[in-house]
Chains A and B, each alone.
Chain A
Amino acid sequence: MNGLQTNNAPHSSVVVPHFIFGAISLLVLAVLIILADESLLQAYFNTKLIAITHIAVLGWASMIVFGALYQLVPVVFETALFSEKLAKVTFWFSAVSVLFLSYSFWVGSYVTLLPYASICMFLSLLLFVVNILLTYKNATLKNIKSTFVITSVFWLLITELIGTLIALNFKFNFLSEIHLHYLKIHATIGLIGWFVLLIIGVGATLIPMFLISHELKEKKLTFAYYLVNGGLIVAVINWFLFKNELIDYLIPLLIISGVLFFVSFIYDSYKKRLRKKLDVGMQYSMLAIAAIFVPFILIGFIVLNTSFEVEFIYRIITFYGFSIVFGLITTLILGQTYKTLPFIVWLNKYQKLVGKTKTPLPRELYSEKIANIQIIIYFVFIASFVIGLLFNQLLFIKIGSYALLLVAILYNVNIFKMITHKVKSVEND
């Protein structure tokens, strides 16, 4: 039956562990941020901040994204996942690798542990990439959205490859440039190539579906695809080969123009939406899309930095990373968790009961009250960090850190409320 994807959905045992690991990682991340204390205001490449970044992007964001992607593949590619068994193996391998990698950074063991941890991480991500690529091979639906997803997976592999080379260089010292040069490439490809492209591909599918909006101009997504990827390719070629400063100005211009086409697509979807009232999941999602303008402004500061003090620029670079990892990615994940996980759990528990008994609605599987309190505290966290980073105020960083801990606790309460939900069976009248 064309277009019906429920039968292609993987078993919840493939997806749910990713949400559990991701939620616990968010909690660990919040604790590490509290422990890191003033390191957060120091140079962006200090060991504590690098460890926190990897827990954030791999343990928290990527793990949830992997789980969600296994569920969304049937929607975006219109085919079943290539191998559920491989996905389960990948989960455990990635989970151990993320912990090993983050620990190596946290204790600063760049020579003894990091090279091995990074190889484990690379291999585990390679398994994920292989599973998605083989799924795409069987895809019946190949459009601009699925192309975004598959391209993002390709960039994830390149990110990991560069990351592994940097890690191995600490032991074998074979790279010609300083580590920071490669770190810039690693971070840019990871944040833009992996996360932003994935967000565009999945967001362009899910957001209009959840807002119930139709007749959108997909041409905008095609422009976005070529501009963002064009920017990334120019970046890689320039940073590896030419190192031309003038070309450095072109890279953000291409990427920002591309992302603006996506923002415009989402804005159309928002304007044409049937459902006027946004639930908590969509409130988060819309905020995340709006927050995309913050890194646009910051990258301007970074590229044009000529007269700023080096400490200030370091904090702006941290703020730039923060605005993407938290402002965009985390905000979106927090929102989309409330849109996807209730359905995954609901389908698993109630699919066979619909029509036979009265079933709850998916949104009734979590506490909306907790989700609403969580979003307010999340604002406190974001606002405190923005002030702390811009004005070098440790007190605000501390307030923000504890706010994030509260957010993580509330998020975990809701996640476990959904996962441990017991079927309520009431016979129909």
Chain B
Amino acid sequence: MTKEEITQFELELLELLKNVMDPEIEINIVDLGLIYELNYDEGKGEVDIDLTFSTPSCPLGETIISNIKETIAQKHPSIYTNVNVVFEPKWSTANISEEGKKILGM
């Protein structure tokens, strides 16, 4: 893959992750701005994701992580997904996409 193709693939993965919902807020994690980084390493066949939560004590954290891994594995069984949970920088409303704001009525 060329650099452009990798970037394109990463964007496709992000689009795929729009299927992962926060079951409480009922918005997908991409529009909610929970994904800080997504990097695909073609050599290792791995994708690294930096993920945060709207609150550190989110009771659905593990469920969201499983959902991310399963969603990618279903479409790309050969890719291994690493999810790193980060709380820096702290999640804020500025992370929410325009689409997400519309759903929330902001």
Is B25 interfacial (CB 8 A cutoff)? yes
Chain B residues lying within 8 Å of A347, measured Cβ to Cβ, are 59-60, 63
A212 touches B54 (CB 8 A): yes
A5 touches B23 (CB 8 A): no
Chain B residues lying within 8 Å of A352, measured Cβ to Cβ, are 66
Given A275-B25, A355-B74, verify A6-B93 contact (CB < 8 Å): no
Output the nearest chain B residue to A4 by Cβ-Cβ distance: B61
B66 touches A3 (CB 8 A): no
B68-88 contact mask (Cβ, 8 Å, vs A): 1 or 0: 111101100000000001010
Chain A residues lying within 8 Å of B60, measured Cβ to Cβ, are 6, 343, 347
Chain B residues lying within 8 Å of A3, measured Cβ to Cβ, are 53, 56-58, 61, 85, 87
Given A355-B74, A428-B74, verify A276-B56 contact (CB < 8 Å): no
Chain A residues lying within 8 Å of B53, measured Cβ to Cβ, are 3
Output the nearest chain B residue to A209 by Cβ-Cβ distance: B55
Interface size class of A (residues with CB under 8 A): 20 to 34
B67 touches A5 (CB 8 A): no
Distance from A161 Cβ to chain B, minimum over Cβ atoms (Å) = 32
A336-379 contact mask (Cβ, 8 Å, vs B): 1 or 0: 00000001001100011011100001100000000000000000
Q: What is the interface size of chain B, counting residues whose CB is below 8 A from a CB of the partner?
A: 34
A346 touches B61 (CB 8 A): no
Chain B residues lying within 8 Å of A328, measured Cβ to Cβ, are none
Given A5-B58, A355-B69, verify A362-B63 contact (CB < 8 Å): no
A residues whose Cβ falls under 8 Å from a Cβ of B: 1-7, 9, 74-76, 78, 141, 205, 208-210, 212, 214, 274-277, 343, 346-347, 351-352, 354-356, 361-362, 428
B residues whose Cβ falls under 8 Å from a Cβ of A: 20-21, 23-26, 53-63, 65-71, 73-74, 85, 87, 92-93, 96, 104-106
8 more contacts with CB within 8 A, not counting A347-B59, A351-B62, are A6-B61, A74-B57, A74-B59, A75-B59, A209-B57, A274-B93, A274-B104, A275-B25
